[in-house]
């Protein structure tokens, strides 16, 4: 092991406490497990926007230094300066050996400045919609001395198409193995995500309506909140399938996992994913998946990857008629994620 002893994470947001399960779940899982593997390495985190306070706190034995930007566009330059000063104070207390920023955005921009000041390694994980033409930081940062990490092959290809630069590595956010309960699989279809147009949950409602013609007692659930909720409920009402879809609202991860262990098929109609961590969670909880070729999508007996909406519907109906197995599959073990980043940090 070399002398890497302190890693500084720069992130837009971070859990306000240990019960804030829904704030960047893959990062939470990674940091908790990484800290267990490498307890001698100190980790500091500067969240730029959330939580909405500036009181330093400890989260799972990790020091957090929030800047409370509250997503205010007017305050952004002040938050950047504040983050710079905060990082320099942290560096004076204990030398920062590596900087890890999440999203190719403001955090990566500040990380680029700090890595020069500290003469330290800078790694940036591409997280999702930052790999889009509309991201103005892409033009600023694509040729900087930053080790860029993609979450999936799909994301790496999209980034190359936009920037003509290859990422240094593809590292999936990993997941721990799950201990399955003996719950009855009494939910036929389950969908989980933000109810925004990009996630395309109107297709989920249409699939339920089509499947209900053959299986009138089909039981499904949709977990999530967002601006599309009222539209989706109206669709279900007009299609006469209100009794077939339960809108669950926002749930914490523990309750989502319980729901996954009661469900047969995970329907994820999203049109874009940088990773789709929820895919890993669904597989680890024994579910079968139907999705487009987005994010983590890869060939697997429990994963049906489709090309269009018609194929999505016919594939889902076909699976409903089959005898499915529900053994857990972990395609993305968190140990592999930790080892990959430990190598990048220079710890091993």
Intrachain domains 6-174+333-345 and 187-320 with the same fold: yes
* Token couple for 341: 């980043």
Burial 107-138 (b: 16+ CB within 10 A, else e): bbbbbbebbeebebbbbbbbbbebbeeebeeb
What is the residue extent of each domain of the chain?
6-174+333-345, 187-320
Q: How far apart, in whole angstroms, are the C-alpha atoms of residue 159 and residue 132? A: 8
Is the four-CA dihedral 230, 259, 270, 171 of positive or negative sign? positive
* Token couple for 129: 């919609």
Q: pLDDT (tens digit, 0 to 9) for every residue of the chain, 348 residues total?
A: 467 899 999 999 999 999 998 899 999 999 999 999 999 999 999 999 999 999 999 999 999 999 999 999 999 999 999 999 999 999 999 999 999 999 999 999 999 999 999 999 999 999 988 888 888 888 787 767 899 999 999 999 999 998 899 999 999 999 988 777 778 999 999 999 999 999 999 999 999 999 999 999 999 999 999 999 999 999 999 999 999 999 999 999 999 999 999 999 999 999 999 889 999 999 999 999 999 999 999 989 999 999 999 999 999 999 999 999 999 999 999 999 999 999 999 998
Q: How far apart, in whole angstroms, are the C-alpha atoms of residue 33 and residue 36? A: 5
Contacts of 294 (CB under 8 A, 6+ apart): 154, 270, 271, 272, 273, 276
* Token couple for 40: 């001698």
Task: Strands of 120-174 (E only): list them.
Answer: 121-125, 147-150, 169-170
- H runs (alpha helix) in 17-75: 25-37
CATH of range 6-174+333-345; options 3.40.140.10, 1.20.1440.230, 3.40.50.2000, 3.30.1490.20: 3.40.50.2000
Q: How far apart, in whole angstroms, are the C-alpha atoms of residue 274 and residue 185? A: 29
The C-alpha angle with vertex 129 and arms to 114 and 190, in degrees rounded to 5, equals 130
* Token couple for 88: 């320099």
Q: In sequence order, what are the beta bridge partners of 246?
A: 221
8 A C-beta contact, residue 86 and residue 113:
no
Cα 254 → chain centroid: 16
8 A C-beta contact, residue 253 and residue 277:
no
Check residue 1 and give its pLDDT: 45
Check residue 2 and give its pLDDT: 62
* Token couple for 190: 């389950």
Check residue 4 and give its pLDDT: 80
Q: How far apart, in whole angstroms, are the C-alpha atoms of residue 194 and residue 276? A: 12
Quickly count: other Cβ atoms within 10 Å of residue 10's Cβ: 26
Check residue 136 and give its pLDDT: 85
Q: How far apart, in whole angstroms, are the C-alpha atoms of residue 120 and residue 104? A: 18
Check residue 186 and give its pLDDT: 96
Is the four-CA dihedral 276, 281, 284, 286 of positive or negative sign? negative
Q: In sequence order, what are the beta bridge partners of 74?
A: none
Q: How far apart, in whole angstroms, are the C-alpha atoms of residue 11 and residue 27? A: 10
Quickly count: other Cβ atoms within 10 Å of residue 291's Cβ: 24
Q: In terms of DSSP bridges, do strands 42-50 and 6-13 run parallel, antiparallel, or are they unpaired?
A: parallel
8 A C-beta contact, residue 141 and residue 164:
no
Q: Which CATH superfamily is domain 187-320 in?
A: Glycogen Phosphorylase B; (3.40.50.2000)
């Amino acid at each position: 092991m070399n002398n890497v002893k302190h890693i500084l994470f720069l992130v837009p947001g971070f859990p306000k406490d240990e019960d804030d399960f829904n704030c960047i779940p893959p990062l939470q899982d990674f940091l908790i497990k990484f800290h267990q593997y490498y307890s001698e390495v100190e980790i500091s985190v500067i969240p730029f926007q959330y939580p909405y306070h500036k009181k330093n706190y400890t989260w799972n034995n990790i020091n957090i230094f929030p800047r409370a930007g509250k997503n205010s566009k007017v305050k952004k330059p002040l938050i950047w300066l504040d983050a710079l000063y905060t990082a320099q104070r942290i560096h004076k207390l204990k030398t920062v050996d590596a900087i890890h920023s999440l999203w190719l955005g403001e955090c990566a921009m500040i990380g680029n400045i700090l890595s020069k000041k500290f003469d330290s390694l800078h790694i940036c994980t591409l997280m999702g919609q930052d790999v889009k033409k509309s991201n103005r930081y892409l033009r600023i940062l694509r040729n900087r001395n930053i080790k860029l990490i993609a979450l999936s092959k799909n994301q790496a290809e999209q980034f190359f198409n936009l920037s003509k630069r290859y990422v240094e590595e593809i590292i999936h956010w990993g997941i721990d193995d799950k201990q399955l309960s003996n719950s009855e699989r009494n939910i036929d279809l389950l969908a989980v995500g933000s109810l925004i147009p990009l996630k395309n949950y109107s297709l989920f409602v249409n699939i339920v309506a089509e499947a209900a013609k053959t299986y009138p007692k089909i039981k499904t659930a949709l977990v999530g909140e967002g601006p599309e909720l009222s539209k989706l409920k109206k669709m279900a009402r007009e299609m006469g399938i209100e009794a077939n879809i339960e809108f669950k609202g926002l749930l914490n991860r523990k309750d989502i996992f319980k729901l996954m262990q009661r469900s047969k098929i995970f329907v994820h109609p999203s049109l874009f994913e940088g990773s789709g961590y929820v895919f890993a969670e669904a597989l680890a909880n024994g579910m079968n998946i139907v999705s487009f070729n987005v994010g983590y999508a890869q060939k697997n007996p429990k994963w049906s990857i489709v090309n269009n909406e018609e194929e999505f519907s016919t594939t889902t109906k076909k699976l409903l008629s089959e005898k499915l197995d529900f053994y857990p599959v972990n395609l993305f073990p968190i140990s592999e994620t930790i080892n990959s980043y430990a190598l990048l940090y220079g710890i091993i």
